[in-house]
Amino acid sequence: MELLRVGPLPEEPLAAAADFHSRILPGVEATLGGGADPLTLVFLPGDHEHRGWRLAAVQSLARAYAPSRVNAVESDDEAAIAAAGRWLAAAEGVTGQFLPLDGTGAGAVL
């Protein structure tokens, strides 16, 4: 399982999506083309307005690179990121998902 950290990105959603697609997406595709499976993108927390483009990007990557698995998490909590990464690595049927993580308010990190 490979974690690929994304960002920082601009605060404005349209600018962030444009930056992701122009600057970061080629590296993500190269990583997937090199055989990364599963791949989990790690986004820094963003306003709720970022959810749509992030989910669409992850779903598109999952479709384009199937049967490789591609998911994303949103967090700056290293323990939550590590726990989610372990869970996603073991969840062989999960792909194309965007998971906002709350390592402090949702209870203990598994």
Output the pLDDT for position 102: 84
Inside any domain, residue 108: no
Inside any domain, residue 105: no
Output the pLDDT for position 107: 55
Inside any domain, residue 109: no
As for how many domains the chain has, the answer is 1
Output the pLDDT for position 109: 52
Inside any domain, residue 82: yes
Annotate 51-67 with b (16+ C-beta within 10 A) or e (fewer). eebbeebbbebbeebee
| DSSP string for residues in 4-49 | EEE----SSHHHHHHHIIIIIHHHHHHHHHTT--SEEEEEPP--GG
Collapse the DSSP code of 92 into the 3-class scheme (helix H, G, I; strand E, B; otherwise coil) and give the result.
coil
Output the pLDDT for position 1: 83
Output the pLDDT for position 110: 55
Expressed as residue numbers, the domain containing 68 is 2-100
Inside any domain, residue 110: no
User: pLDDT truncated to tens, each residue of the chain (110 aa)?
Assistant: 899 999 899 999 999 999 999 999 999 999 999 998 999 999 999 999 999 999 999 999 999 999 999 999 999 999 999 999 999 999 999 999 999 998 766 555 55
The end-to-end CA distance of the chain, in Å, is 18
Inside any domain, residue 34: yes
Collapse the DSSP code of 100 into the 3-class scheme (helix H, G, I; strand E, B; otherwise coil) and give the result.
strand
Inside any domain, residue 107: no
The Cα–Cα gap between 30 and 33 comes to 5
Output the pLDDT for position 106: 55
Inside any domain, residue 11: yes
| pTM to 2 decimal places | 0.90
Task: Tabulate helix, strand, coil % of the chain (nearest 5).
Answer: 45, 15, 35
